[in-house]
Structure 1
């Protein structure tokens, strides 16, 4: 059944799901997105989330992603061949679901917080999660990424988008000062150099006096295995950035593939079980939670 659902995405990637309001919102043309560009990688991630949402028992269940894929005009069949969703959709879903739980928990405890989503890509998290009315949510990414986002999602209420590289300094002036704040960096910091990460953290902690940071960090294998050199930084332990700035305190961490038992398909579940049994594979990408 699940395999048939995945095949449906390939044969007609623009078909909305039953009851999908995307069909009434109109198509958006992303065919100008260059293959292999930053924006292309975000479309790949969107497609993986879309595939996972169509399973009978999804882990993340990002139906916004399925709606967006139905709206976006792009060569989704070619994307499917490139990203191999039969396996890779589950890694994306496991990591995303863990972030979702921690973000929701923080907003529940701090219903007037600021949420700062760094490198938001084409993620629908601000719309998909239950966000308290007083929470101020900022999605930040490169200007060309935000330009794509604006074709999918409108700004409204306390939701804002900022088009800037997170390594630039000026975009912080658009944010409130103080706290509490939740800084979310999913699949982001490994693409910065250590010096860029240090500088970014110092500026954020100077701006906000209390809050938490959620970030997944790769092991040192990350840069070594990156043939293109796009991955710039890996760390042996989450304590490294607390030594860069002693205002940060590590309060929790776990492998991003924790919860693999929820994978509904037997073959992929077995592969992730094998990965979980190998320390180097299990710890390749870990989700860290910091307080300050």
Structure 2
């Protein structure tokens, strides 16, 4: 049967599940065999965390805590933003991986086989989200080791915070997949995906939005990272969430839908 012919509906669903599982295992094995990219992407948020805590922590905590606060005030403020930056950095690896598959001919080989076409992208997406979760756990453990605590958060708030991180990872992953599909090579994919780790630098990850220049505040406040960071801070630290929760969810859903249709159109546009 040709790869473009659709089997009966139940068989098609079963085929999609089996093929997606196979592609997921393939991508996870590939990541395990070549861990250098993941480690390199993890170094950026960890180095920024340590840099801002141990070099600027006293000054930053005095400003955020209204003076007289210790370094732990700034650690609590900083870690949620670093976790979101970790997700952005991890998805850069997804863009590179997708672009590599497209340019090295493996996708062309898959298209000659009797597999569900969508499973190729689904395997990348699920694998990327799992890698994002593991990266967040690793960076979060570093944050706990240097003093981050969330003693007031309930179990429900922890679950909601975790769900928000997964949703954000899913949204950025679909955008990264689209970037990888339209990039001519892995180097271009890495460069195209750099905004995913650059945007946290101009968000509320490191300093409050109201401490920024007035003309810049709307840019920092309404980009995807800031409302998500503020929502995560509210869930874990008990700060005011306000309208940030629905802005964050709207950004996540909007980016996920945009990335999905962009990726689907780009993937189908390639020669069959």
- Structure that is richer in helix per residue: 2
Give the TM-score range, shorter chain: 0.3 to 0.5
Structure ranking higher on relative contact order (CA contacts 8 Å, 6+ apart): 2
Higher Cα Rg, which structure = 2
Normalized per residue, the structure richer in strand is 1
Give TM-score scaled by structure 1 length.
0.31
